[in-house]
Structure 1
Amino acid sequence: MSVFFSQEPVQFQCPVPEETRFTPDELQEILSLLESSGGDSVSLSPNSGSEGSSRAVYNDNERRLRRMISNRESARRSRWRKKKHVENLSSQMNQLELENQELKKRLGSALRQCHVVWGENERLRFESVALQARLSNLYRILFTMQAQ
């Protein structure tokens, strides 16, 4: 039993899904592959086990067509995954840039505070040296007064 394609133009009963994104030229190529397959397009497999089996053996053109459609769908899914991956990386990059800016602000603030503390330590060191010198002078005066 064989199924034959008619030579009449093919009329689609339902719209082609937008996800396939076939160009008019690609659709024409697909239709020409179907038309060129001629009378031996689909034949029931003699090894199917039952006369009414719906298992079909496809000819080379049909296999090419099915493979082409499958490859296009696979490529579409791959592009979608790549797009999502790039979006995720972009989002992560934006988040890391914000975190980097925040860390730079905190580092700048810590460096300013460190500079202030360093200056205060220097001032206190000089004051300590001056006070030690004054205390030493006072001890000398005290010893001199006690010695007299």
Structure 2
Amino acid sequence: MLPGKVLIITSSGSEGDERYAKMDERKRKRMMSNRESARRSRMRKEQHIKELNNQVSYLKSSNNVIVQEMNSVRQLWSGVESENMVLRAQLADLKNRLESLEIVLSYMRGTSTSTSTSTSGCSMAICQDDPLLKPLQVSCQSMPLMASYAGMFRF
């Protein structure tokens, strides 16, 4: 079509009107179908948004539960960690006590052959106070020597 020219369609009676009526009917049906499709699309979108909001709520709730569990575990861990520190300090103390006792015992074994071999079975007063050391039996003749060493070591 050339610019400035207008195309005029002339119909020859009712035949042209029917054709346009059919085209108008098809156009109207297509518009109605498009509107219905758009309505369904909007409904699907709305449903999808509701599902996403529900999922967000569920995940937030799950996250809160996990955070609470983490805090609980942190508190337990902190308690175990402090108990572990106490046990390590006790271990170091017991190692020192054992080392001191081994020194005293090795001295006693070295002097027991030179002194009398009496094994009357009496135990030191220091050992009687400590349930861990109570089984340690020392000869009665070694008691004065042990008492002097006891002052050097912390039992």
Could you state the TM-score of these two structures normalised by the residue count of structure 2?
0.56
1:97 CA drift (Å): 0.8
Query: Is 2:7 the counterpart of 1:40?
Result: no
Radius of gyration: which is bigger? 2
SS at match of 1:78: helix
Match of 1:119 in 2: 82
1:41 CA drift (Å): 7.2
Unaligned runs of 5+ in 1: 1-37, 43-57
Structure number with higher relative contact order (C-alpha < 8 Å, ≥ 6 residues apart): 1
Query: Is 2:74 the counterpart of 1:96?
Result: no
Deviations 1:28-47 (A, max 9, x none): xxxxxxxxxx95279xxxxx
Unaligned runs of 5+ in 2: 1-15, 112-155
Could you state the TM-score of these two structures normalised by the residue count of structure 1?
0.59
The answer to whether the Cα contact below 8 Å between 1:41 and 1:62 also exists between their aligned partners in 2 is no
CA distance in 1, matches of 2:23, 2:60: 54
- Equivalent of residue 95 in structure 2, options 132, 135, 139: 132
Higher strand share: 1
Cα RMSD for the two superposed structures? 2.0
**Percent of residue pairs identical:** 35
Deviations 1:66-98 (A, max 9, x none): 111111100000000111111011101110110
Which stretch shows the higher mean deviation, 89-98 or 111-120?
111-120
1:9-88 counterparts in 2 under 5 A? 40=18, 59-88=22-51
